A and B are shown apart, each in its own frame.
Chain A
Amino acid sequence: MNVAVAKTGNGRAVSDLFASAEGRLPGSSAVGAVRREAFETYERLGLPHRRIEEWKYTDLRALVGEVLPLAAAPDAAALKRAAEAVKAHAIAGARKLVLVDGVFVADLSDVKTLASEVSVKTVREVLANEANHAAGDLLQTAAIDAVISLNAAMATDGVVVSVADGTHLSAPIQVIHVATAAGASAFTRSHLRIGKGVRATIVESFVAAGKASGYQVNDAVVLWIGDDADVAHIRLMDDAPDAVNVTSQFVTVGANTKLNFFNMTTGAAVSRLQGFITLAGEGSELSANGVNLLQKTEHGDTTLVVDHAVPNCVSRETFRAVIDDRAHSVFQGRIIVRPDAQKTDGKMMTRALLLSDEAEADNKPELEIFADDVSCGHGATAGALDDSLLFYLKARGLPEKQAQALLIQAFVGEAIEQIADDNLREHVIGIAERWLERRS
């Protein structure tokens, strides 16, 4: 084992992270074994760094250095601050499931209202159930990299949501991750199972309560969608400006299903969303849109792997980045077309808007095509705001910042417009507007 990797910058032994947390991690003894094995994998690999191809632009060792100790379970004061944050970030009409510093909080959640339409359990209760011999499966995903293994080892809680076949949800479900801690980590893992013929909108929001700072989030989501479904999956990463958020999501899509995925990153010093989406049933349509709004020295990475495992599916990815100051945006998009996946139609497009000379955008499209009768492609543009448009707006009385704001909103608006739910769309526009107001 590489000794240098096993110590963090502070001289803390990496294994302390797990040893000191182990007593607080829910699970039967079988679950404990899964965790230990996952942690050993993490220990062996250490945080991903630039010599690992998938992490070339997001060197966590350089950007983050070390994983902070597990956040304490929220006390009464933390829950009070969390309640305020929930109020501020709740989407009108949505049903909430709230996790505070990695712990599900029933009092802040709409458990009762949800119970009439869906089944909700907590990861904690599933893992702790001694009678459930398969409980450890909840922590098993493809061990693609060290952050995923670390998540399996350390996950304290999450939600297990199951939507029965044929259900048309009457309102969006909003999972809100609230951070209240300073200098600590939260590890969460959720499972969402969407049945056949379901219509649902699932939102995941990452927010900071007052006083939360310098915290780290490591979240994993396993989303399974059945046939003939119509699902909108929206992620809003609006963390504190000095936070770290690394999220991994594993999505499996059935046949003849529509999945509209949207991610917007407006916070965190360092963030990475890595999505692994498998189109596993024929005739499905994936629309994946991302927006990165970055300023100061923020680093935001969106990495999507879309795997066309079967024929006759369509995937459309559009990623937009607005990068100010010395911020750095990364988009890595890989489209895999398996040998059987004939008639695949997969396209991705990246647009970067650079608001300063020092802003940086990296774009890495990859096509791995093993079938011959397919239509796949990618494109990219990068540029500054158009001076002639800016002048037109200023000549009509808009001050520089306001003129820029209008053009930036137009740039990201195209992606936001695709959100069908009115309240949700307004909510997302509101987050983008607050980002614009934060610009110096």
Chain B
Amino acid sequence: MALLEVKDLKVRVEEREILHGLTLTVNEGEVHAIMGPNGSGKSTLSHVIAGKPGYEVTDGQILFKGEDLLEMDPDERAAKGVFLAFQYPVEIPGVATMTFLRTALNAQRKARGEGEYSTPDFLKKVREVSKSLNIPQDMLKRGVNVGFSGGEKKRNEVLQMALFEPSLCILDEMDSGLDIDALRIAADGVNALRSPKRAMVVITHYQRLLNYIVPDFVHVMSRGRVVKSGAKDLALELEASGYAQFEDA
């Protein structure tokens, strides 16, 4: 059974159809890259998978481990193993990052019927992961993403991914706003999470990220559909030729 099956998905936002019948299948252990011009619907797809309100699914379905994802609240999806690293992570003043991480992790564990992490176990885990991602401890005392640079926000998303151990990771433009060193650190963090049980969907505009996170498949999205799929070489082709060939598709 596929981990994620998006079948002929049609989505409207404020009366306007954004996704016009999108199909995508992701199996365990695979890394998929989605590329495509601005406004083609990449973030929309990721939001609909994560359960963001404001999108109307008019047709099609999304199955996750065979279950109807669209029937679930966003928190249920997270507990089942869906994780979206946001293109634009929000700042939450007054909610300490540590409190947030612990509350979220324990909420997910509770929903799965697992016991809560003890404080020392939790702290140990956070310390390990943040160290590998080069995130200083005192950053975690601040409000969630408050005063974080663009790159720090993205690393904080990878930190959460490592902590929550989801089975499906969707990375929406993880590389935007990252300098080359930060990109390598974040990509190493992502690669460390690659496993035969976990799949990744990497949304990006740039071939460069795919040099670090090497995909098994590359899909081109244009105007709300997947218009071409191929192996990793497809990304190189796109880099050379651009998206113009798909615009009329």
Pair B78/A397 contact, Cβ less than 8 Å: yes
* Bound-state Cα–Cα, A397 to B164, Å: 9
- Tell me the nearest residue of chain B to A386, going by C-beta: B90
One digit per residue, 1 when the CB lies within 8 angstroms of any chain B CB and 0 when it does not, for chain A 410-430 equals 110110000000000000000
Pair A406/B52 contact, Cβ less than 8 Å: no
Question: Of the 9-residue stretches A14-22, A214-222, A285-293, A388-396, which lies at the interface with chain B?
Answer: A388-396
CB proximity of B74 to chain A, nearest CB, Å: 4
Q: Say whether B237 faces chain A, with CB atoms less than 8 Å apart.
A: no
One digit per residue, 1 when the CB lies within 8 angstroms of any chain B CB and 0 when it does not, for chain A 368-402 equals 00000000000000000001110111111111101
Given A397-B108, A398-B107, A399-B75, A410 and B164 contact (CB-CB distance below 8 Å): no
Pair B160/A391 contact, Cβ less than 8 Å: no
Report which of A388, A398, A411 forms a contact with B94, defined as CB distance below 8 A. A411
CB proximity of B174 to chain A, nearest CB, Å: 16
Pair A394/B73 contact, Cβ less than 8 Å: yes
* Bound-state Cα–Cα, A82 to B183, Å: 62
A side interface size, CB within 8 A: 22
Contacts of A140 in B (CB 8 A): none
Q: Say whether B31 faces chain A, with CB atoms less than 8 Å apart.
A: no
* Bound-state Cα–Cα, A387 to B53, Å: 9
Pair B94/A389 contact, Cβ less than 8 Å: no
Pair B93/A410 contact, Cβ less than 8 Å: yes
Pair B92/A398 contact, Cβ less than 8 Å: no
* Bound-state Cα–Cα, A191 to B129, Å: 56
Name B93-150 residues within 8 Å CB distance of A: 93-95, 99-100, 103-105, 107-108, 111, 143
Contacts of A395 in B (CB 8 A): 50-52, 74-75, 77-78, 84
* Bound-state Cα–Cα, A399 to B79, Å: 10
Q: Say whether B86 faces chain A, with CB atoms less than 8 Å apart.
A: yes
Q: Say whether A407 faces chain B, with CB atoms less than 8 Å apart.
A: yes
Pair B75/A406 contact, Cβ less than 8 Å: no
- Tell me the nearest residue of chain A to B106, going by C-beta: A397
Report which of B78, B90, B94 forms a contact with A394, defined as CB distance below 8 A. B78
Pair B51/A402 contact, Cβ less than 8 Å: no
Pair A392/B94 contact, Cβ less than 8 Å: no
- Tell me the nearest residue of chain B to A410, going by C-beta: B94
Contacts of B51 in A (CB 8 A): 394-395
Given A392-B89, A406-B100, A410-B94, A397 and B50 contact (CB-CB distance below 8 Å): no
Pair A396/B90 contact, Cβ less than 8 Å: no
Pair A398/B53 contact, Cβ less than 8 Å: no
Pair A396/B160 contact, Cβ less than 8 Å: yes
CB proximity of B217 to chain A, nearest CB, Å: 25
CB proximity of A291 to chain B, nearest CB, Å: 13
* Bound-state Cα–Cα, A413 to B95, Å: 9
Pair A402/B107 contact, Cβ less than 8 Å: yes
Name B64-94 residues within 8 Å CB distance of A: 73-75, 77-79, 84, 86, 89-90, 92-94
* Bound-state Cα–Cα, A397 to B160, Å: 11
Pair B73/A400 contact, Cβ less than 8 Å: yes
* Bound-state Cα–Cα, A394 to B84, Å: 11
Contacts of A28 in B (CB 8 A): none
Main SS at interface, chain A: helix
CB proximity of B95 to chain A, nearest CB, Å: 5
* Bound-state Cα–Cα, A393 to B145, Å: 13
Q: Say whether A409 faces chain B, with CB atoms less than 8 Å apart.
A: yes
Contacts of A388 in B (CB 8 A): 90
Most chain B C-beta atoms within 10 Å of own C-beta, residue among A403, A406, A411:
A406
* Bound-state Cα–Cα, A392 to B90, Å: 7
CB proximity of B108 to chain A, nearest CB, Å: 4
Name A41-57 residues within 8 Å CB distance of B: none
Most chain B C-beta atoms within 10 Å of own C-beta, residue among A387, A394, A409, A411:
A394
Pair B107/A406 contact, Cβ less than 8 Å: no
- Tell me the nearest residue of chain A to B92, going by C-beta: A389
CB proximity of B158 to chain A, nearest CB, Å: 14
Given A392-B86, A395-B84, A397-B164, A413 and B94 contact (CB-CB distance below 8 Å): yes
* Bound-state Cα–Cα, A396 to B156, Å: 13
Pair B95/A394 contact, Cβ less than 8 Å: no
Pair B95/A407 contact, Cβ less than 8 Å: yes
Contacts of A389 in B (CB 8 A): 90, 92
Pair A396/B104 contact, Cβ less than 8 Å: yes
- Additional A-B contacts beyond A396-B108, A397-B79 (16; CB < 8 A): A391-B74, A393-B100, A393-B104, A394-B73, A395-B77, A396-B164, A397-B75, A397-B104, A397-B107, A399-B75, A399-B107, A399-B111, A402-B107, A403-B75, A406-B99, A406-B103
- Interface set of A (CB-CB < 8 Å, partner B): 387-389, 391-400, 402-403, 406-407, 409-411, 413-414
- Closest 9 CB pairs between A and B? A410-B94, A397-B108, A397-B78, A394-B74, A396-B104, A397-B107, A394-B75, A410-B95, A392-B90
Q: List 12 A-B contacts (CB under 8 A).
A: A388-B90, A391-B52, A392-B86, A393-B92, A393-B104, A394-B74, A396-B108, A397-B105, A397-B164, A398-B104, A398-B107, A407-B95
